[in-house]
Amino acid sequence: MSLTCSISGEPPQDPVVSTKTGHVYERRLILKYLADNGTDPVSGEKLEEADLISIKASAKAAAPRPPTATSIPALLHTFQNEWDALVLEMSNLRQQNNSLRQELSYALYAQDAANRVVARLIRERDSSREALSNVQASMGITPAPAGGDVEMAEENGAQEGLPKEIVDQMNETQAALSAARKKRKAPAGWATPAEVKTFTAIHTIPSLHSASPAGINSLAVSSANPSQFLTGGNDKIVQLYDRSTDKVLASLKGHTKKVNHVSFREKEGDNTLILSAGADKVAKIWSHDSASGEFLPKATIRLHKGELTGLAVHPTSTVAILGSADKTYSLHELTNFTQIYQSSPFDDPFSSLAVHPDGALLALGTANSKIQICDVRTGSVAATISPPDVETPFAVNSLSFSENGYHLLAPDSTSSVAIWDLRKMKAAHSIALGDGFKIGRVAYDYSAQFLGVAGSEGVRLFAHKTWDELARFEEAGDVSSIVFGAQGKEVWGTSGREVRIWGLPQ
C-alpha cells in the first residue's frame, strides 16, 4: 500500500505522520504550513512539530511512478522514449563494432606483412652467412662461432629456463614419483617371465587407415580405457579405435604429411587430449568434448623448422614435449596450449625422444648415434651417451626408460639394443638381434621386468637383468611400433595396416 501526502496528494519523499490525526504529510510541506498556521491542515486542530513522527521507508523499495506515467498515453510516450534511446545506443554500438573490425583487419594485415618481412630477412641473413662462410673458407679464415651472434644470444636469453610455476609442478611430481618408485616391486597380478614365454597371437585388427599410402607409424593404448587405442598413419590421419566394439571412434585430420607419433593425455578431472606429431613439422592437439562425445581441435603447433621426430607427455600431465630434426626440442603447456620453452640448436638432428618416469630428465636420440640427456627444468645437458666403436653413424630412432628410472633402452646399432645404466652412465648389456634385423621401436613394460623390440623381422621380448629371449613373433613381418598392454599380459604391435595383439593363450 503506497502513502500519499494529505497536502499535495503525491507520494512523499520524506514522509511524516501526525500523532493526533494519523494523516501522512511531506515533511517540508507540513513544516511550512505549521509555521504559517500552527494547526493540522485537515482537522484544524492545534499541531506542533513535536507531534510529527518520521516514517522509515525501505531503501530498496522502488519509488512509485509519477502521475504522468499512470495513464496509457503517458505510458506509450515513455515506452517510445525508451525505444528511441535503445535504437540510438544500438546504432552507436554498431558504428563502434565496424570501427573495431577495421582496426583488427588492419592489425592482422600489418602482422602478416611483418611476418613476411621477417621471413625474408631471415632468408637473406642465412644466405649472407653462408656466403661469408664460403669466402672465409676460401681465404683460410676460421669462421666465428655461432654463439657470438647477437641475435642468437638474445633468443637464448629469452628461452632461459621454464616458468617458476611449471618448475614447481615438476619438482613436486618428481618428489612424489621418486619416493613411490624406490624399491618398488612388480604390481600384484603382473605377468611373469614364464607367462610371457607362452604368449601367442590372440587378436588382429585389419584394414586401419587408408590403403594408399598404407602403413601405421605409431601406436598408443589408453590407460583409462585399455580397449581404446590411437594410431598415426602414412595417410596423414590419426585414428581412435575401440577394440571391444571393433569400431573407429574418430578419424582426426589436419596433417599434410605422415603422422610420426601419437599420444594420449589422460588426467583425472580434465578432458582427455589426443596429441600427434608429423613429418609436416606440425603437432596437433584435440580435446574430448563431453557434450558431443567428439574430439575437437584445440591447438596446432607450428614452431619447428624440421620434421617432428619425438612426442611425449610429461608426468605432470600439464606439459607436452616435442623433438625435431631441426636440432631443437620444445615444451608446450596443455592448459592454455602455449609454448613455454624451446632449446637452443644442438649439433645433431633429433631422431627420438623419451621422458624419465620422474619427469626430471629428457633423453633425446640423435641422427649421429648419440643420446643427449637433458634436465627438463633448466634445459642444460646432464650427460651424453654414445656407443663405443661406432664405425657407421646411425639414427637412434627409439628410446624407453625403465619404470624404476635406472635404465634406458636404446639401439646401439641398427640391429642391436643396449641397456644403459644411468647410475654409471655405461651400457649394462647389449643384445644383438641379427644383421638382418632393423630396429623400428623399443619399449619397457611398466614393471621393468621385460623389454620389447619391434623391427623388420617382427617382435622380440626379453627379460630384464637375465636378458633371456622370452618370445619371438615373426609372422607380422615388419613391425613399426610396440606397446605393452594392461598388466604386461599383452603386447601390441603395428604392421602395415594392421594392429596385432599377442598375449596369454585364450
Domain assignment of residue 147, yes or no:
no
Q: Which of 35, 64, 93 is the last residue of a domain?
A: 64
pLDDT exceeds cutoff 60 at 155: no
Q: How confident is the model at residue 124 (pLDDT cuts 50, 70, 90)?
A: confident
Domain assignment of residue 331, yes or no:
no
What total number of domains does the chain contain?
2
**pLDDT given for residue 389 in this prediction:** 82
Dihedral class, residue 248 (left if φ above 0, else alpha if ψ from -120 to 50, else beta): beta
- Considering only residues 457 and 63, tell me which one the structure prediction assigns the higher pLDDT: 457
CA quadruple 260, 478, 402, 483: dihedral sign: positive
Q: Which of 4-18, 309-323, 324-338, 491-505 has the lowest mean pLDDT?
A: 4-18
Q: What distance in Å separates the CA atoms of residue 291 and residue 289, rounded to the nearest whole number?
A: 6
> How does pLDDT run across 45-100, given as a tens digit for each residue?
899 888 899 988 665 666 666 666 667 888 888 888 899 899 899 988 999 999 99
pLDDT exceeds cutoff 60 at 149: no
Cα-Cα-Cα-Cα torsion 187, 188, 193, 198, nearest 10 degrees, comes to -130
Domain assignment of residue 460, yes or no:
yes
> How does pLDDT run across 349-372, given as a tens digit for each residue?
999 999 999 999 999 999 999 999
Domain assignment of residue 224, yes or no:
no
Domain assignment of residue 408, yes or no:
yes
Domain assignment of residue 368, yes or no:
no
- Considering only residues 327 and 122, tell me which one the structure prediction assigns the higher pLDDT: 327
Q: What distance in Å separates the CA atoms of residue 286 and residue 238, rounded to the nearest whole number?
A: 10
Q: Which amino acid is residue 28, in one-letter code?
A: R
Domain assignment of residue 42, yes or no:
yes
Backbone angles phi, psi at 113, to 5 degrees: -65, -40
Q: What distance in Å separates the CA atoms of residue 418 and residue 332, rounded to the nearest whole number?
A: 30
Q: How confident is the model at residue 135 (pLDDT cuts 50, 70, 90)?
A: low
Rg (CA), the chain: 37
The C-alpha cell 601419437 sits at: 262
Q: Which domain covers residue 37, as residue numbers? A: 15-64
Tell me the CATH number at 475. 2.130.10.10
**pLDDT given for residue 144 in this prediction:** 45
Domain assignment of residue 464, yes or no:
yes
Q: What distance in Å separates the CA atoms of residue 326 and residue 370, rounded to the nearest whole number?
A: 16
Give strand ranges (E) for 7-78. 15-18, 24-26, 52-54
> How does pLDDT run across 293-325, given as a tens digit for each residue?
899 999 999 999 999 999 999 999 999 999 999
Tell me the CATH number at 28. 3.30.40.10
> How does pLDDT run across 390-437, given as a tens digit for each residue?
888 999 999 999 988 889 999 999 999 999 999 888 899 999 999 999
* Average model confidence (pLDDT) across the chain: 88
